[in-house]
Structure formats: structure tokens, C-alpha cells
Amino acid sequence: MRSLELQPLQIGNVAVWPPVLLAPMAGETGSVLRILCKRLGAGLVCTELTSSHGLFYKNKRSFEYLRWTDEERPISAQIFGAEPEMMAVAAAMCCEAGADLIDINMGCWVPKVAKTGAGASLLKDLKRAAEVMSAVVRASSVPVTIKTRVGWDGCIGSALEMGRTAEDCGIAALTIHGRTAVQGFTGEADWAPIAEAREKLRIPVIGNGDVRTPQDAERMFRQTGCDGVMIGRQALGNPWVFREVNAWLLDGRELPPPTGWERLEVAREHARLLALQHRGSEAPETPLPAIARGQLAHYLVGLPHAAAARREMVRIETLGDADRVLGGVRRLLDADPREARRLRFPEEDPDPLAASGAVG
């Protein structure tokens, strides 16, 4: 493959390199996954979507989403809501917390978000969307971006209309997921609206949807002309996807997938960082947050006896419990090293025990 002549993704005064980004995903893209993806080559990472209502009313859990480390920079803080005043206050709080960018979620189709008029519902109400975007831009001391979908249902709302409105409101960049809100994650992503937006808008356009391999990322760049590519569910339990995509795009090199041992090592680091961040300890008896169960189970996909190991993983309580499960899988790999060297991640996670709560 002839390597692409990629340029840094310029979002206001923030330069993103490489232009391969981690998508915000509810219940998944906490600080630990963001750190691991940055270490393995993600150019930009983003928080989970955070409720402007929760920030406005000083909900403790909402403020936990605004915790990050310098290792994650540049960091984008994603907020959602349909009330311009609350969104402005939330954006100011994110800036005060040290966010490098603010992202407005205009793509979440999950009913508990969309039924409030927020998320993808704003595709159906451009006037309200403009009020929200303008309020956030005025309140922010950093560049503001939005993430949306190609439309609500194929008839109502479009990414191009939203993009034109966003430009008028001072939005610095636009991410488009190639499915409608009604589709959710079903069917195939349509990249044509991403190409249309890139052709007709002045602001940078980032493509998202069905980027599972380095070759997919190349096709999205070539077919849409987009300024950046955002990777979501394929990064769950697989932060190496950024290393592989960058090697292919920048040097034309196809890297081998991580070995089973590498996957277990990073899964252990994921668990350790969760324990440190949530409890300040890495002793075996350190309790892990409930989110650890699903997050760690992603690393086990495709490994020997993965189904049994994942059933154990979703019942863990402590760091020691996680070590026990990972250690059991490692012993299986040590007994047959060939299994550890020929593993590949499936394109879709087959096990509902660790299904993502990702939205947007």
C-alpha cells in the first residue's frame, strides 16, 4: 500500500497527531482505557458522555467523568443536554477542569438520552441544536466540536444540515457516525454522507463507523476525504488497534496482532490502573469498580476457553480476583504457546456478557 500523506488534524488551536481518535463510549472510555489507547498511538481521546444536568446540579458521579491525567492529553470532554443554559454551565466546568476540547454529543440514540431532546434528537430540531451549540461556544475557552449521525432515520435530519448549522455557531470540527439514530449499531455504516460533508463544509470532518481494521481506516480516508478517523468498539479490549492503524497508514506496514501473553499483560495493567485510580492501592484485596468486569472481559475474546474465563471475570470483586482469572488463562497459553501466537480479534464481540454500553 502507498502510505497516505496525512496531515495533523487541526481543531482550533489543538493539533491532533496522528489523526486517529478514540470515540467516546458510555461505560468504557474512562481514564484507564484512554491512557492505554494513548500509549498505543491514539491521537485524541474523549471522556464518556457526561450529563450537563448532572454537572449543573453538582452530581458527584458526573464530576467523576471530568477526571483525567496529563498522559491523556489532548483530552476532549463530551457533554450532552438540550438546555442551552445548562450546557453552557457544564462547558465552563469542563474548561475549568482543564479539558483541551469540549465535544457536544448529538448522536446518542439511547432512549434515556434521546427522549429528553438531547443527543441524536437534536438532529430533528436544528433551532434548538443551534441554541445549544452557540451557548457552549460562548461559554468555552477551548475549541468546541460535535459528534452526530448521518440523520435521525434517513428522512428527518442530516449531518450536512447539522454541519452547516455548526459552522455558523462557531463549532471547530464535526464527527459523523455513518448510521442513523434509528439504526443504532445495526446494519452497515454509510460513509457517503461523511464524504458529502467533507466536500461542502469548511471545518474539519472526522469519520466514524465500521472502522475495524487498518485497511478500513485507509478506505475511510480515501473514500471520504475526511480529516480524521474515529475508532470506537474495536478498541474495547484492543487498544493495539491504534498501533496497527498508524503503522499501516503512515508506513504501509501490517503489524501482527498482539499475542495472547501481551493481551493478558495489558489486561492486568488495566486492572491495576483501575485499582489505583479508584482506591489508591494495588494490593490483591483492593476492590475494583463494577465496570472492571466488562472492561477486562473484552481482552479475553478469542483466547483459549474464553467463554468460561469471561463468565468468571464478570463475577470478580477485587484485583486479586482479576489476577486469578488472568493467571488461569495464562497457564493455558503457557501449556500451548502456539495458541498464544496465532490469535486475532474478531470483528464483533460475540459474548453478551461483556457487551458494550457504548452510545453515540
Catalytic residues: 108
Backbone φ, ψ for residue 78 (5° rounding): -100, 130
Contact 61, 76 (CB under 8 A): no
Task: Name 271's Cβ contacts closer than 8 Å, sequence gap at least 6.
Answer: 288, 292, 296, 319, 322, 323, 326
> Whole-angstrom Cα distance, residue 33 to residue 185?
21
The radius of gyration computed from the CA coordinates of the chain, to the nearest angstrom, equals: 20
Contact 224, 194 (CB under 8 A): yes
> Whole-angstrom Cα distance, residue 11 to residue 172?
6
206's grid cell: 472526522
Dihedral Cα 206, 68, 129, 114, nearest 10 deg: 100
273's grid cell: 490502573
> Whole-angstrom Cα distance, residue 298 to residue 353?
9
17's grid cell: 497527531
In single-letter form, the type of residue at position 293 comes to R
Backbone CA torsion sign across 77, 81, 84, 86: negative
